[in-house]
Amino acid sequence: MSLKFLESLEQTIKDRHDNPSDSSYTSSLFAKGINKVAQKVGEEAVEVVIEAKDDNEELFLNEAADLLYHYIVLLRAKGYSLEDVTKILEERHK
């Protein structure tokens, strides 16, 4: 299962935030500010919606991956982590 990978990806994204690298797309996105990061999440979400209506499953899954990546970047830009969100989901689940 790739939940461990998600933790590792989130850690890399945090590192690109805390220690910016010139060659990193993630660092360049953080540098553009919260509005740009939020805009990217909106754009990727729209692309997921568009692909959900078509039959190209590979494209749909790729757009879903883009959305998840940018969502984690947005959480970090706001100072949060996936765990902050999953805690809320866990509380709802009780």
Ligand X SMILES: N=c1c2ncn([C@@H]3O[C@H](COP(=O)(O)OP(=O)(O)OP(=O)(O)O)[C@@H](O)[C@H]3O)c2ncn1[C@@H]1O[C@H](COP(=O)(O)O)[C@@H](O)[C@H]1O
Is residue 20 a contact partner of residue 31, using CB atoms and an 8 Å limit? yes
Judged by beta carbon, residue 6 or residue 94, the one nearer ligand X is 6
Range 65-84, binding ligand X (CB under 6 A): 66, 69
62 is an interface residue for ligand X by CB under 6 A: no
- Applying CB under 6 A, which part among 21-29, 53-61, 75-83, 86-94 lies near ligand X? 21-29
Kindly provide the b/e burial profile for residues 17-52, where b requires at least 16 CB atoms within 10 angstroms of the residue's own CB: beeeeeebebbebbeeeeeebeebbeebbebbeebe
Range 41-60, binding ligand X (CB under 6 A): none
Contacts with 45 (C-beta within 8 Å, 6 or more apart), sequence order? 67
34 is an interface residue for ligand X by CB under 6 A: no
16 is an interface residue for ligand X by CB under 6 A: yes
Q: Which residues make up the interface to ligand X (CB under 6 A)? A: 9, 12-13, 16, 24-26, 40, 66, 69
